[in-house]
Structure 1
Amino acid sequence: MSDEHEERVPLAHRVPDLGALELLLAVARHGSLGRAARAVGITQPAASSRIRSMERQLGVALVDRSPRGSRLTDAGALVTDWALRVVEAAEAFDAGAQALRGRRDSRLRVAASMTIAEYLLPGWLIALRAGRPGTAVSLLAGNSAVVAQRLLAGEADLGFVEGLSVPDGLDGAVIGHDRLLVVVAPSHPWARRRAPLTPAELAATQLILRERGSGTRQVLDSALSAHGGLAEPLLELASTTAVKAAVVSGAGPAVLSELAVTEELTARRLTSIPLDSVDLRRDLRAVWPTSHRPTGPARDLLTLTRGGSKPG
């Protein structure tokens, strides 16, 4: 009956922990409990308590204490031999774990939606390199839907999206905010209007748009759904840079991230048109597969992104 009971007790409850075994090995090396305590970085009373606890756990005396020092009992010498094998195995385990961490920390795969990839990530990655010069970073840029696919397929360690919500299968954290602006070339008729643009006017206008699946398109579709939805696109392009270039050339109006057009607005290559009664603010999010919170370089990059975007 007792044997069956012993088998049900977890091994961790029956075998001394590594700290206790390392202390016993230190007693064997130094022949003194005081010197052994100093060697492992604890006080002598704590060392004595740990030895007594180990003796109770094993049911045998391990150390004889005398004014001349401490020596192992016969049982203590035998347990010390076993302890040495356990500690050596633990050291091998630790070396292997360090090698795994080193391999993990040697690379970082980031997937980011276009606006974040173009206008925010470069600064974050420069800061990351200062703290982790040995980490090689690869960047996969695409719309928010593509970012989610990359993460779920195990092709990226951390992602960044600009949509309305966290994609299915992912967890996330808001890292900043952005807003969308209606922009035109200075030669466009809207650039001379005095009254704000109404949601119905914007919805009825053929715009230069990002492709479906982009965070910008998701926010715009949602904001104008109550006003008849978006008209047929004038052009549908796969990058913010391409959309912006088309607007600057005078091809037509677009709705773009404030992050993406700040330089053009300052240089007056684009004009921002006020929009009445529509909220085009959005959250910028870091995302990762559910229950796999970022570690190593991915965790460090996530920390760097906090407060790194322009307030919306």
Structure 2
Amino acid sequence: MSSEPSDVVSLLSHRVPDLGALELLLAVARHGSLGRAAREVGITQPAASSRIRSMERQLGVALVDRSPRGSRLTDAGALVTDWARRIVEAAEAFDAGVQALRGRRDSRLRVAASMTIAEYLLPGWLIALRAERPDTAVSLLAGNSTVVAERLLGGEADLGFVEGLAVPEGLDGAVIAHDRLAVVASPAHPWARRGRALDPAELAATPLVLRERGSGTRQVLDAALAGYGGLAQPLLELASTTAVKAAAVSGAGPAVLSELAVAEELASRRLVAVPVAGVLLRRDLRAVWPTGHRPTGPARDLLSLTRSGG
């Protein structure tokens, strides 16, 4: 019965010298001196002597004859050196190939992000990433949280950002920030002039300008108002935060949007925030990636920047 691959590796690791020892042997062959070989590989002469003796014990043959005039390979040592050269050359080719793969991986970063994060947070993070990795080309796909999950699971993105209530199935994630949803209306709307907070049941029963199903904003609002009869049929259902905001500013009807998205409009009084009593419209913003595939390279660096406030 043949050995399993892991068994073969285990046997070879005990029977074949490590690369450092083989590189030392090649240096001895080049210089004819254990001292000069030790200096080339960056170790002391006693350490080099010890490594050669250890390799001879491992292989069961004498490799080097030592004398006051220098160090000379034995016949067996010359043969082992030829084999060692092939191993070291193969290792160098392996290293070059891995470096090329790493370089290709690090030359691009594909990000998928839900709309609020893509519009209001990612630009700052990507500017900071460019300062650290100027040679990395970044592509960004903006869509709702469902689309982000689909892109990650389909291998079309390296890192994602979502705004929903939980990590989508098949993904791992980490909370990177928090956000609140605000009920907003144009200054001309009756809600903008009311003297008391809005009742959750009234909010649920009123047709609103909303994001589409599958968006993080919609998920949070659906969950918050589920105990109040659920959301009424939307007045308008739009696929972008910008479109929802424009409709609310124009007076089409009240809307529910991230505080990040409406900060400028609230400051300029183009929109008015409408307080709501007894309901929590808060959500976590998350970085996400396929389960078991922790971000590496530029994706890891971008994740680090989101956590450091970069």
TM range (shorter): over 0.9
Is the alpha carbon distance of 1:68 and 1:155 closer, same or farther for their aligned partners in structure 2, counting shifts above 3 Å?
same
Q: What is the distance in 2 between the residues matched to 1:231 and 1:114? A: 23
| 3-state SS of 1:86 partner | helix
| 3-state SS of 2:225 partner | helix
Aligned to 1:30: 31
Identity %: 84
> Across the two proteins, how many residue pairs are aligned to each other?
304
Cα deviations by residue, 1:91-145 (Å, 9 ceiling, x for unpaired):
1111111111122122211111111111111111122222222222111111000
The answer to whether the 8 Å contact 1:175/1:308 transfers is: no
Q: What is the distance in 2 between the residues matched to 1:306 and 1:213? A: 26
What are the residue-to-residue correspondences of 1:207-222 with 2, within 5 Å?
207-222=208-223
| 3-state SS of 1:10 partner | helix
What are the residue-to-residue correspondences of 1:253-292 with 2, within 5 Å?
253-292=254-293
Aligned to 2:76: 75
Aligned to 1:3: none
Is the alpha carbon distance of 1:166 and 1:70 closer, same or farther for their aligned partners in structure 2, counting shifts above 3 Å?
same
Aligned to 2:237: 236
Instruction: Give the C-alpha shift of residue 9 in structure 1.
Output: 5.4
Cα deviations by residue, 1:29-79 (Å, 9 ceiling, x for unpaired):
223323222221223333233222212211112223334433322222211
Is the alpha carbon distance of 1:28 and 1:219 closer, same or farther for their aligned partners in structure 2, counting shifts above 3 Å?
same
Superposition RMSD in Å: 1.8
Aligned to 2:105: 104
The answer to whether the 8 Å contact 1:176/1:308 transfers is: no
Residue range with higher mean Cα deviation, 66-75 or 93-102: 66-75
The answer to whether the 8 Å contact 1:175/1:307 transfers is: no
Unaligned runs of 5+ in 1: 1-5
What are the residue-to-residue correspondences of 1:115-264 with 2, within 5 Å?
115-264=116-265
Q: Which amino acid aligns with 1:62?
A: L
Residue range with higher mean Cα deviation, 248-257 or 131-140: 131-140
| 3-state SS of 1:57 partner | helix
| 3-state SS of 2:289 partner | strand
Instruction: Give the C-alpha shift of residue 214 in structure 1.
Output: 0.2
Q: Which amino acid aligns with 1:125?
A: L
Instruction: Give the C-alpha shift of residue 177 in structure 1.
Output: 1.2
Aligned to 2:4: none
Instruction: Give the C-alpha shift of residue 165 in structure 1.
Output: 0.8
Residue range with higher mean Cα deviation, 108-117 or 185-194: 185-194
The answer to whether the 8 Å contact 1:176/1:307 transfers is: no
Residue range with higher mean Cα deviation, 60-69 or 141-150: 60-69
Instruction: Give the C-alpha shift of residue 295 in structure 1.
Output: 1.5
